[in-house]
Structure 1
Amino acid sequence: MLTHDPDGRQLDSELLLHLVENVICSTLSDVSDAQSDANINVGSIDMIGSDEPLGCTIYKISHEILYRCFEQGNLHTKTMVLLEMVSHFRWDAKVVLVLAAFTTRYGIFWLIQQLHFDNVLALSLAILKRFPRDIMFDPKFKALISLINCLVKVTKLVEMMASLPVSHDHKAMATMNSNIYMATYWIIRSILECTSQITDPQSVRHEQVSLNAKIVAAWTLYSLGNKLNSLCHDLEEQIDTSLQAKLLTIFKEKHTDNQEVLHTLFSCKVELPFKDHSSQKKVDIFELKNKIVILLISKPELLPLDKLLFLVQQTYDHPKHKQIEENYAILWVPIPSANEWSLDEKRIFEVFSSSLPWFSVRQPWTLNSAVVNFIKQEWKLKEEPLMVVLDVNGMVTNSNAMDMVWIWGAKAFPFSISREKELWEKEKWSLELMTNGISPLLTNGVEEGRNLCIFGSENIDWIREFTAKMKKIKDAGIRLQLVYVGCRNSSNQTMQNILNIINQEQLSISLTSEKIHFFWFRLENIKSSIIHQENTDKIAKEVAEFLDFGENKEGWAVLGRGSSTDVIKLSVETVAELGFLGATEETLKTSFPSEPCNHTDLVPYEEGLIERSVNCGVCKRPMKKFVVYKCDVAAE
């Protein structure tokens, strides 16, 4: 702490660390998130407030490290000298600069090691520098690789902690600062030891003749690695605590854009945290700036295939998508039920993230545990997927827009709670609401205002009889489209058998089994969405009744026209009535009046009358049944 004397110099330590990882990743296959193929604008990595270029500073530090390796004295004193050299920088800049200086020599060391078997120049350099010929099985170099891995990890954590917001909790801030100071010291001390192991020819020559020297060197490196791992655990705990506190407040604050919110959620451990669905390239958070972002949060397996296809249909393939695609983006955030990702879950994620037409978190297993816990607790992630909507300022406008997307698709843009309320205020119970977006076959018929009859049954004899009666109505000159939509909760095998017979005998038009699933699934989402709305009791009642109605495996039918609210339900019992044809013809010929009707018919009792369906002679709608008792006792 005594060596810390910042003078306002600023360094893009995040970008420099990113470049350092690119060098190290070629030698460490287990360094997380190595970006070897990322495009980095090295020219943009510079220091503000410094009299010399960044390259010159790195060279001086590298030279100082090398000089100290050949100098007599203890490691602590050498570490303090280096800390004094970088005293004018922030703590995150100190560790990144020293690590970058070490990497310039470490990279050359490994480059020569990789090439000296096939390249004469590399072989000559290896001989001049007295590098060992084969280090792959040397315990010292295994320990070195392990330590470098720890160095990268702890450096990233220090850089991350430096970007955390200042806390008003003085005790927490004191603990955090203490952890940063300790980590900085041990990072620089470890770098000095690593440099000594790869550049000091005297130590290399001594190890070539002494097995004990190799063991001591390996033990020293492993000890430093254990120390860094312990610090790593403390830093991660501190970051989790700070991040959790920030997450609880960030969605209550006002922001000018969504960048801070997205950075807090997704950019704590990984740079370029997203994958672009179209190019499969790694992209930065900036790509989503000024867009409404829908966080599609789910398990790695996301959804069953049929529902997944329907979701793509309602978003990417929706007719409205092209009009709004520049204004919003869907970001898939997979989170497993367990705390750790299995290999199968990672494989499933890779397949889906490369196939689905959305952005996805590129390495979701690196999400901070505080973020995962926040999503599970605050946004109540359970078994079913969520669609959390963030506006262009990063504020949550809908904690779950799944129902909206299932019902209206891209038409629901901007997917906010207020938009959902607005859509329901315009809706009415009609065939249009029931069938919208399921299939062009249904949608076109509804939009053109055609008479439409949708029906379902698992009884093929009933279907034959019903379609024959409907054909008579059509033959009478009434334009009517007949579409089979199955029954709710039918088995796939039963449904497919019925569809095969209908198509073979050309009994009617039918939806595919996939579209039939969509039809019933969408109705269930209408029921789920509407219970949270006001002044929609009629629609809620109708959809609940219709879902129950659709359970009738013997047979049912619904008739209507376009967006008209005049919808007639016919069950197997009423369809079997002899008077069905006449009643249906009248229904289709006449538009129902919207005003109430109080017409009454008194009919003398006869056998079977109670079970019979009767339509009103005035408004043509089905009449309610009442029993009237009349006293016939004559007066004396």
Structure 2
Amino acid sequence: MHMIQTWSPGYIDDTELGVQGPRYKIIPFIEKEMKERSQGLDSLIFDIDEQISHLVHEIEDKIDDWTNQIDDRIDELRKRSIMFTSERENALWKKERDWSLGLVVGDIEENLTQWIMDEKYIFLYGGNDIKWVREFTSKLREVSYKTRQCMELIYVAKNEKVRARIVVEKMSHVLQSPYDAWRFWTRLQSALVSRINYLNASNWYGDECDDEIAKGFKKLLGYECKGKTMKEWALLSKEQNVAVCGHGTKMLRVINEFKSWKEDLAFKSFDQAFKDYYNKTLHTSSSSNCHSCCAFEYPITLKRIPTKEKCPECFHDMQKLVTFTCYHGDN
């Protein structure tokens, strides 16, 4: 199930799963070969060209029938979910080497595909404080106007009250429905499980695992997990590249202090300048009062769960708890 949640049908049903190459490329070659072999026979067998044409059409039909049979067998395999195997999972992860916006959103939000193609700066954000949301979206619009950079914002958190206010006040884009929000976070959880399975199979996962993709999933999931104390967060991406993902208070501070780093835009891209100033705020005394941190849950179905985990926000060791959750018999 975690593979079905992680990989869209388009990802699984790629062009590698089928008969490759132009179907009729071989037909002209066969026809040419047969005519060369029967050269001069037209004076004895007047319908030789028709016979060759008939033979070529028979071969063409047999190739079509064989190709269709293969495609039908592949469709049957898809219907029985045999595509979702550990071997297939490993093959898919070998194609994904970097933490990217595509891995974060999958096929959840259609607008993102166009925004990426348009090379816009994309902010995903979440929070339970509507005042922070208002200030964050307002200040970001000001920066966008001043820098003349195309920026898109989308609220992806689970808080329905905040989401409703954003829609009413037209502050930014939101996921279309509560189901879309559930799907977004469920898919992220499944993607992390899938990534851990891959790392386990490769003997790369453990307490000291430094995998960029797994760390990225954990950080986002830690922002919205039950038990977390962080109220708001934001992620900045340019095309597929995730530039920075962090605490909402610090992200807002970077925006509010735009005058302090706007000169950097003369020789840096917006995302790089933003990232550099954000990292700078992590080491200043004025940001030391931001102690809101993450919580994180591992599904018990994992073969191996680390004995210790560091907070993706403050990097201190996290407290380990065992939670029993009633699910009322639901699958």
| TM-score interval for Structure 1 and Structure 2 normalised by the shorter chain | 0.5 to 0.7
Question: What's the secondary structure of 2:197's corresponding residue?
Answer: coil
Question: Which amino acid is the alignment partner of residue 269 of structure 2?
Answer: K
Q: 1:550 aligns with which of 219, 224, 231?
A: 224
Q: For residues 381-460 of structure 1, what are the structure 2 equivalents within 5 Å?
A: 389=82, 414-427=83-96, 428-460=98-130
Q: Distance in 1 between the 2:184 and 2:223 partners?
A: 14
Question: What's the secondary structure of 2:76's corresponding residue?
Answer: strand
Q: Distance in 2 between the 1:522 and 1:606 partners?
A: 35
Contact 1:432 1:562 in 2 (8 A): no
Q: Distance in 2 between the 1:606 and 1:590 partners?
A: 22
Q: Distance in 1 between the 2:169 and 2:139 partners?
A: 15
- Post-superposition Cα deviations, 1:180-227, rounded to whole Å, max 9, x if no partner, equal xxxxxxxxxxxxxxxxxxxxxxxxxxxxxxxxxxxxxxxxxxxxxxxx
Contact 1:457 1:554 in 2 (8 A): yes
Q: Please report the RMSD computed on the Cα atoms of aligned residues, expressed in angstroms.
A: 4.0
Aligned counterpart, 1:406: none
Question: How far 1:576 moved relative to its partner?
Answer: 4.4
Q: 1:499 aligns with which of 144, 163, 167?
A: 163
If you compute each CA radius of gyration, which structure gives the higher value, 1 or 2? 1
Aligned counterpart, 2:286: 608
Q: Distance in 2 between the 1:608 and 1:322 partners?
A: 50
Q: For residues 105-504 of structure 1, what are the structure 2 equivalents within 5 Å?
A: 314-315=8-9, 318=10, 326=72, 327-329=74-76, 389=82, 414-427=83-96, 428-476=98-146, 477-486=148-157, 490=158, 494-495=159-160, 497-504=161-168
Gaps of 5+ in 2: 18-70, 206-210, 291-313, 315-331
TM-score, normalised to structure 1's length?
0.29
RCO higher in structure (CA 8 A, sep ≥6): 2
Question: How far 1:426 moved relative to its partner?
Answer: 2.2
Aligned counterpart, 1:531: 196
Contact 1:430 1:567 in 2 (8 A): no
Contact 1:458 1:553 in 2 (8 A): no
Question: How far 1:579 moved relative to its partner?
Answer: 5.9
Aligned counterpart, 1:567: 243
Question: Which amino acid is the alignment partner of residue 233 of structure 2?
Answer: W
Q: For residues 63-78 of structure 1, what are the structure 2 equivalents within 5 Å?
A: none
- Post-superposition Cα deviations, 1:289-329, rounded to whole Å, max 9, x if no partner, equal xxxxxxx9xxxxxxxxxx9xx97x944xx587597674223
- Post-superposition Cα deviations, 1:422-456, rounded to whole Å, max 9, x if no partner, equal 22122110112101211211233234432110001
Question: What's the secondary structure of 2:286's corresponding residue?
Answer: coil
TM-score, normalised to structure 2's length?
0.52
Question: Which amino acid is the alignment partner of residue 571 of structure 1?
Answer: H
Would the alpha carbon gap of residues 320 and 545 (structure 1) be closer, same or farther in structure 2, given more than 3 Å must change? closer
Q: Distance in 2 between the 1:606 and 1:501 partners?
A: 33
Contact 1:453 1:483 in 2 (8 A): yes
Percent identity over the alignment is 21
Q: Distance in 2 between the 1:538 and 1:606 partners?
A: 25
Contact 2:237 2:271 in 1 (8 A): no
Question: Which amino acid is the alignment partner of residue 541 of structure 1?
Answer: K
Q: Distance in 1 between the 2:107 and 2:168 partners?
A: 26
Contact 2:140 2:255 in 1 (8 A): no
Contact 1:550 1:556 in 2 (8 A): no
Aligned counterpart, 1:541: 215
Q: Distance in 2 between the 1:482 and 1:584 partners?
A: 21
Q: How many residues align?
A: 210
Question: Which amino acid is the alignment partner of residue 245 of structure 2?
Answer: K
